[in-house]
Amino acid sequence: MHASAFCGFYVAKADATLFNDRSEVILVRDGQRTIITMSNDFKGDVKDFAMVVPVPTVLRREDIRVVERRLFDALDAYSAPRLVEYYDENPCVRFDLYDSVMESEMSRAPTSTGMAQEKTARKMGVTIEARYTVGEYDILLLSATESVGLKDWLIANGYRIPATAHEVLDPYIRSNMKFFVVKVDLARFQQSGYTLLRPIQVRFESNKFMLPIRLGMANSNGSQDMIVHAFTRTGRVECVNYRTVKVPSDRNIPLFVKQQFGAFYKDLFARAHRREGRNTVFLEYAWNVTPSFSGMKCDPCVGPPPMPREFAEAGADWGGAATFYTRMHVRYGRDMFPQDLVFQVTPNTENFQARYILTHPAQGDLTCSEGQDYLENLAYRRQRELGELNALTGWDVAKHKGYVNEVRGRLSPERRNNAVPFGWNIKWPGDGFPPSWPMVAWIAALILVPCLIRPAKRTVAVA
Amino acid sequence: MRFLQPITATLVFLKQDARHFQIVFLAGFLLFGILQLHWDAELTRYVFLLGTCLGVQACFIRWKSLPWSSLKSAAVSALGMCLLLKAAGPGALVLGAVVAIASKFMLRVNGRHVFNPGNLGIAAAVLLTGDAWVSPGQWGSGVALFFLVTAAGCMVVLRVGRIDTSLAFLGTLAVLEYFRTVLYLGWEMDVWLHRLSNGSLLLFAFFMITDPMTTPRAQRMRVIWSVAIAVLTFLLGWFFWINSAPIWALLIISTITPILDHLQHGDAFRWNTERPEQPAHHEQHQLT
């Protein structure tokens, strides 16, 4: 149990059971402007809710908004890792090819009076820079000169701060950051009619493009998950102080995974996370989602692509101009993530999605010679699918022998023990290889031109 | 012991020229990145960079009648760029590679080229095209030991004589970072260590600023030069939030290298260690 959120921490006024192990954030970066939307899946009693987030500037009232929770749902549904199903043709009969798409069934981890307050604040070295009410929230922007004063002030005003928090507050105070402190106004919350707290969005101009994760670790020893949905005009967002790697994708997996795709992806992620050293940021999705761009936006789409209305709500409303969507998933803990996450926008527009492939076998009579060849390959393919499943998730696949044997059983007896052809379906390493024509032409020119150049008369050519 | 012969022969070959070691090490890092760190194996990118660097170098070799062995220098520059420069299209890569190699022959002061070719190539590609970028996070911070051991080992073995630049740079940066992160901001030691053990930073410290052709010739000046790069790296990173600050710091400080050379002269560097002195070729080697 850890009472923490991605960039700040949830602080309780009572010993309520607070819990949050997956947070989501939308990051929009355009030049020096950053817009951060923080999802709020706080499960405790709302009267206990409070949040502290370091921000680089004193935000103005118009820089703070409350947005609808369904924005996150729409983005998550659209960019989540996906399953795709293909159907094999029966080689003995002409068949039409069907592609169908299955909605991923990933278990969405549930995905005082002012004057007096100010006077005591000043005594403790805390300045209340601004005070706003936005939607159901009461918001304060604090600046502080030292962490103990800030901690004391928060405690005096009824926020329960983790014991070690002031050690982490210090670096942010020294970096001249302000503190965005949020509480819920119960009366307004009840009037609003919402049952869940809505996400808060802030925008500011700063050359720092980062997420302060360290504060959220103040009272947590375990690891937390964060999904970052990033939008830029130019291309992918990547982390500059940790490695950004792609999550394993485009793998053929056995059919029976369909029923347990949520568990499959969870284990796959855990394994990839361990294998990469537990200190990486994973890329789950990267695509050009420009509203006017008519090309393919996902393959397959597990949710409808974001609409202009959603871009506007996220703050990436660029009037139909190029928009690039990057989804990152990071599992972080204090031991492997000592630094806050710093990002950069790159011109990289290469598409990527976490995608896993199910292939249904051909139906009908397969006794013809081509049909028997097909079954032989199918048995081999299923064996590889099991191997892939084991490699990706670490699941024990020995109990799934039947998955291969049911295909073998359909082979004629003389074919049953045939060896599988070697080198079946070799994949070239990397993309863009074998080379393209412009590359061949360029290399040819680079070889030819030096041959054509005549040496100058001088042998020593120093200016 | 006949079976050892190929090994000793290889070692002798490697020891003939520091660049042989550099090529082996840089190619090794590239393989490590692809196989161990799961970089995208962008073969097209590597082919464009290597091909262009070697091709342009070959043009200059023909034009200026230089020894063909200078292709090794181009290979070193190209591999360095493969490790650092990324681009969305081939145009930026070709531009970077052409600028890198051409600068060795076109941008010369007192018979030496001013900029580190790989460094200038990267800067040109990033600034002029907007289509290229550097990923300082691609090495992570876990491979620190790997770099330190191999790089230091290779430096010592080869006695290129530029270990002083690496140490002055890293030492200065370590002290400055310590003051900033630990003493001033109050972060824990592991934040400091995480910042310093960044693989890209170490690669830069051991393989980019140690190029004997573009570092000042006199040792005292080299140390001043490295300290200046470290200070500028620190300032750009902390106060301007520039990612991959070392690249830009080196580019800026390189402009004062001729002045430092003028203040204190030193011996010109030659790549080959095995052959006897050949004064006639002395100047030519500098071109490479």
Among B147, B140, B44, residue whose Cα is nearest residue A278: B140
Q: Residue B54 — pLDDT band, cuts 50, 70, 90?
A: very high
Cα–Cα distance, A382 to A397 (Å, whole number): 11
> Which residues of chain A have a CB within 8 Å of the CB of B188?
338
User: What pLDDT sits at residue A417?
Assistant: 63
Query: Are B174 and B80 contained in the same domain?
Result: no
Which range marks the domain in which residue B230 is found? Answer: 145-263
What is the three-class DSSP state of A12? strand
Mean pLDDT within A17-35? 77
- CB contact (8 A) between residue B283 and residue A445: no
Q: Is the pLDDT of residue B153 over 80?
A: no
The 3-state DSSP composition of chain A as helix, strand, coil percent (nearest 5) reads: 30, 25, 45
Q: Residue B155: what pLDDT?
A: 64
Q: Does B117 lie in the same domain as B79?
A: yes
If asked whether residues B243 and B283 sit together in one domain, one would say no
For residue A315, give how far its alpha carbon lies from the nearest alpha carbon of chain B (Å): 23
Radius of gyration, CA atoms only, chain B: 19
In a domain, B62, yes or no: yes
Contact B21, B160 (CB under 8 A): no
Q: In whole angstroms, what is the distance from residue A323 CA to residue A300 CA? A: 20
Cβ–Cβ gap B65/A446 under 8 Å: no
Percent with pLDDT over 90 in chain A: 21
A344: part of which helix (H) or strand (E)? strand A341-345
- Which DSSP helix (H) or strand (E) runs through A73? helix A70-79
- Residue B37: pLDDT band by 50, 70, 90 thresholds? confident
Task: Rank A403-407, A432-436, B32-36 by mean pLDDT and report only the highest.
Answer: A403-407
**Residue A392: its H or E element:** helix A369-393
Q: What is the rounded average pLDDT of the residues A260-266?
A: 87
DSSP A312: H
Token digits for A408?
Answer: 């073998």
Taking CA–CA distances from A346, the nearest residue in chain B reads B133
The answer to whether the Cα torsion of A200, A203, A209, A215 is positive or negative is negative
Q: Give the nearest chain A residue to B49 (CA atoms).
A: A443
- Report the pLDDT value the prediction gives residue B183, as an integer from 0 to 100: 92
Give the 3-state DSSP-derived string for B35-101, with helices as H, strands as E and coil as C: HCCCCCCCHHHHHHHHHHHHHHHHHHHHHHCCCHHHHHHHHHHHHHHHHHEEECCHHHHHHHHHHHH
Q: Which of A48-62, A257-271, A282-296, A382-396 has the lowest mean pLDDT?
A: A282-296
B157 and B131 housed in the same domain: no
Domain count, chain B: 2
In a domain, B8, yes or no: no
CA distance A91 to A349: 39
How far off is chain A from B12, nearest CA to CA, in Å? 29
For chain A, what is the mean pLDDT?
Answer: 78
In chain B, residues with a C-beta closer than 8 Å to the C-beta of A245 are 37-38
Comparing A422 with A182, the larger pLDDT belongs to: A182
Residues B184, B220, single domain; the answer is yes
Q: What is the mean pLDDT of residues A320-326?
A: 87
Model pLDDT, residue A418: 58
Same domain, B34 and B109: yes
Tell me which chain A residues have a C-beta less than 8 angstroms from the C-beta of B137: 238-244
d(CA A273, CA A392): 11
- Do B191 and B213 lie in one domain? The reply is yes
CB contact under 8 A, B42 and A431: yes
Pick from A97-106, A131-140, A187-196, B69-78: least confident: A97-106
Residue of B41, B111, B187 lying closest to A430 (CB–CB): B41
Return residues 394-453 of A near B (CB < 8 Å): 429-433, 435-436, 438-439, 442-443, 445-447, 449-451, 453
Q: Are B73 and B131 members of one domain?
A: yes
- Between A175 and A436, residue with greater pLDDT: A175
Quick check: is B118 in a domain? yes
pLDDT(B225) > 60: yes
Residues of B with Cβ-Cβ distance to A165 under 8 angstroms = none
Chain A CB contacts of B88 under 8 Å are 235, 347-350
- Count Cβ–Cβ pairs < 8 Å, chain A vs chain B: 154
Backbone angles phi, psi at A447, to 5 degrees: -85, -40
What are φ and ψ of residue A21, in 5° steps? -115, 5
Measured at the CA of B203, the angle between CA B39 and CA B261, to 5 degrees, comes to 145
The pLDDT, as a whole number, for residue A312 is 85
User: What residues of A are in contact with residue B43 (Cβ under 8 Å)?
Assistant: 429-433
pLDDT value of position A400: 87
| CA torsion through residues B51, B54, B58, B64, sign | positive
In a domain, B72, yes or no: yes
Q: Which residue of A has its CA nearest to B38?
A: A245
- Specify if B100 maps to a domain: yes
Looking at residue A275, what is its pLDDT? 87
Q: Is residue B107 part of a domain?
A: yes
Is residue A405 over pLDDT 80? Answer: yes
SS3 A295: coil
SS percent in chain B: helix, strand, coil, step 5:
70, 5, 25
Confidence of residue B159 (pLDDT cuts 50, 70, 90): low
B164 or B80: whose pLDDT is higher? B80
Q: What is the mean pLDDT of residues A27-54?
A: 84
* Any B CB within 8 A of A312 CB: no
The reply to whether B23 falls in a domain is yes
Q: Where are the domains of chain A?
A: 9-356
Q: Is residue B10 part of a domain?
A: no
